[in-house]
């Protein structure tokens, strides 16, 4: 393995920040949107261009500035980070298209601010993916928290304000109150914060302080949405749908999960966690969240809130994968980042399209909607299948590996949790589809025929749904990266 010094990761992070001045100065929406697209495409291009080097077993590194003795502000691209970055940057392209349709469709205000902070959020996301140490990750994590605050509170009304408060309370409270002290303690114990295969804490800390630090970090990275620090996510659904779609199904929440994953594998290390028996502890935390959120999701009538609770559950799948500490478990967790992203973003896009076209937010009002908006609801169905984990969708692959992982780790209870949760997933998604296609609408509902959403809103969910299916047959790009990442973690 060769560590190549390359400015590519830095450029990939900065490209969306660089476009912000252009966005601010652009007077016309067309110019603004073109530039957003250009930034998204360039960003994805740069990230994709790193794939061959990573698959060849190299890593790309770039040191920006030293911050403390032994810690630098440093970017490093490895297989896991690249996998996440690929997903996030690709979906930014799709979301940019969708944003245009959605924001214009609803004639939202302050679109310049919206696109600027969106770009900043993406920079921070890629920064997290490419962080070489915990401090760099923390810096980008905070940047993401702050750049998403204006997006969550975009409507600037009372509801947005209270959601914003909740958002800050959980996210900043976690990162300042728990992560910061834990991080400094780890630095004092280990002398550095680098992500290293096998962890940096092994052998230098007892079981009790290790447990305390682990819990502080797992709950402190509250973007991962582990119960009981999940409550910000349903609240954040007041944001415009593209924000919910990209940030609260992909970028922000996955940044949380990615951080927890990194902590488990590269700070604590599998060996140490197994020694102390913390793998079971983490599994239980994840299992509680998986089941709890699925049960809550059943009772939600607002479609976006139901999707939010579903996301909370799916995020903990990934944590569970990491906590299993086996080859297939971790690979399944990493794959799930990608698979769930494509599935869930489809669902959010559809929810937004329904809102733009029909103005409907609640599931109970969706009877017969499938006949009015067949393409949207068809894409919704595919996305739902993927999230439930049924073939022929990508979600099946990641769940399959997770299930194998539970068997490898001999955590049969977790296997049962996975299966039960899949049933619950089906129970909260399929009735929506059933209702849309097979129930007769209330008489007054569709007096005027509802048209499908405009093309900008419709094409993205169709595309992501199609990709979800393609990923079932052709998961190699992500699969290879995840295998590479896992072999590094377990080999090191």
Q: Binding residues for other proteins, per CB under 8 A?
A: 65-69, 73, 135, 138-139, 142, 146, 150, 153, 156-158, 160-161, 164-165, 168, 172-173, 176-177, 180-181, 184-185, 187-188
**In the complex, minimum distance from the CB of residue 72 to other proteins, in angstroms, rounded to a whole number:** 9
**In the complex, minimum distance from the CB of residue 124 to other proteins, in angstroms, rounded to a whole number:** 12
**In the complex, minimum distance from the CB of residue 128 to other proteins, in angstroms, rounded to a whole number:** 13
Task: Tell me whether residue 100 or residue 210 sits nearer to other proteins (CB atom).
Answer: 210
**In the complex, minimum distance from the CB of residue 76 to other proteins, in angstroms, rounded to a whole number:** 18
**In the complex, minimum distance from the CB of residue 113 to other proteins, in angstroms, rounded to a whole number:** 9
Q: Any bridge partners for residue 131, and if so which?
A: 75
**In the complex, minimum distance from the CB of residue 67 to other proteins, in angstroms, rounded to a whole number:** 5
Task: Tell me whether residue 58 or residue 113 sits nearer to other proteins (CB atom).
Answer: 113
Task: Tell me whether residue 142 or residue 452 sits nearer to other proteins (CB atom).
Answer: 142
Task: Tell me whether residue 119 or residue 318 sits nearer to other proteins (CB atom).
Answer: 119
Two tokens at 29? Answer: 């929406």
Task: Tell me whether residue 49 or residue 162 sits nearer to other proteins (CB atom).
Answer: 162
**In the complex, minimum distance from the CB of residue 151 to other proteins, in angstroms, rounded to a whole number:** 13
**In the complex, minimum distance from the CB of residue 81 to other proteins, in angstroms, rounded to a whole number:** 19
**In the complex, minimum distance from the CB of residue 47 to other proteins, in angstroms, rounded to a whole number:** 23
Angle at which helix 79-106 crosses helix 8-25, to 10 degrees, equals 10
Task: Tell me whether residue 144 or residue 331 sits nearer to other proteins (CB atom).
Answer: 144
Cβ(137)–Cβ(128) under 8 Å? yes
Report CA dihedral (88, 94, 97, 98) to the nearest 10 degrees.
-90
Task: Tell me whether residue 194 or residue 279 sits nearer to other proteins (CB atom).
Answer: 194
Question: Between the CA of residue 468 and those of 30, 308, 471, what are the distances in Å?
Answer: 30, 19, 5
For residues 437 and 327, give the distance between their C-alpha atoms in angstroms, rounded to a whole number.
Answer: 41
Task: Tell me whether residue 72 or residue 382 sits nearer to other proteins (CB atom).
Answer: 72
Task: Tell me whether residue 5 or residue 65 sits nearer to other proteins (CB atom).
Answer: 65
Greatest extent of the chain over all pairs of C-alpha atoms, in Å: 70
């Amino acid at each position: 393995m060769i560590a190549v010094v390359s400015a590519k990761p830095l450029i990939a992070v900065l490209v969306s920040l660089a476009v912000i001045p252009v966005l601010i100065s652009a007077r016309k929406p067309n110019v603004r949107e073109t530039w957003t697209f250009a930034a998204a495409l360039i960003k994805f291009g740069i990230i994709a261009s790193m794939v061959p080097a990573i698959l060849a077993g190299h890593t790309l590194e770039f040191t920006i500035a030293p911050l403390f003795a032994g810690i630098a502000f440093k970017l490093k691209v490895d297989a896991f980070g690249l996998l996440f970055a690929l997903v996030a940057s690709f979906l930014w392209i799709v979301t940019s298209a969708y944003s245009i349709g959605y924001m214009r469709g609803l004639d939202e205000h302050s679109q310049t601010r919206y696109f600027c902070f969106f770009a900043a959020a993406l920079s921070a996301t890629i920064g997290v993916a490419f962080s070489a140490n915990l401090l760099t990750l923390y810096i980008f994590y905070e940047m993401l928290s702050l750049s998403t605050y204006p997006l969550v509170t975009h409507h600037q009304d009372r509801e947005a304000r209270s959601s914003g408060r909740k958002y800050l309370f959980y996210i900043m409270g976690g990162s300042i109150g728990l992560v910061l002290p834990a991080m400094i303690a780890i630095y004092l114990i280990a002398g550095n914060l680098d992500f290293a295969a096998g962890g940096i804490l092994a052998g230098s800390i007892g079981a009790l302080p290790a447990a305390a630090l682990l819990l502080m970090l797992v709950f402190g990275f509250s973007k991962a949405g582990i119960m009981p620090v999940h409550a910000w996510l349903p609240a954040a659904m007041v944001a415009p749908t593209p924000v919910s779609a990209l940030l609260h199904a992909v970028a922000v929440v996955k940044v949380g999960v990615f951080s927890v994953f990194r902590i488990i594998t590269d700070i604590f290390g599998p060996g140490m966690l197994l020694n102390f028996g913390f793998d079971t502890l983490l599994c239980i935390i994840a299992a509680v969240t998986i089941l709890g959120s699925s049960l809550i999701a059943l009772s939600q009538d607002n479609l976006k809130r139901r999707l939010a609770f579903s996301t909370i559950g799916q995020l903990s799948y990934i944590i569970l994968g990491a906590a299993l500490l086996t080859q297939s478990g971790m690979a399944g967790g990493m794959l799930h980042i990608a698979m769930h992203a494509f599935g869930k973003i489809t669902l959010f896009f559809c929810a937004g399209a329904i809102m733009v076209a029909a103005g409907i937010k609640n599931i109970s009002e969706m009877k017969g909607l499938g006949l009015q908006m067949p393409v949207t609801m068809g894409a919704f169905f595919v996305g739902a299948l993927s999230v439930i984990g049924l073939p022929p969708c990508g979600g099946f692959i990641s769940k399959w590996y997770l299930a194998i992982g539970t068997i490898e780790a001999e955590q049969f209870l977790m296997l049962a949790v996975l299966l039960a949760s899949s049933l619950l997933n089906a129970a909260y998604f399929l009735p929506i589809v059933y209702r849309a296609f097979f129930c007769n609408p209330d008489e007054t509902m569709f007096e005027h025929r509802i048209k499908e959403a405009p093309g900008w809103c419709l094409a993205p969910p169709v595309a992501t749904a199609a990709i979800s299916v393609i990923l079932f047959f052709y998961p190699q790009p992500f699969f290879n990266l995840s295998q590479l990442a896992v072999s590094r973690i377990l080999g090191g």
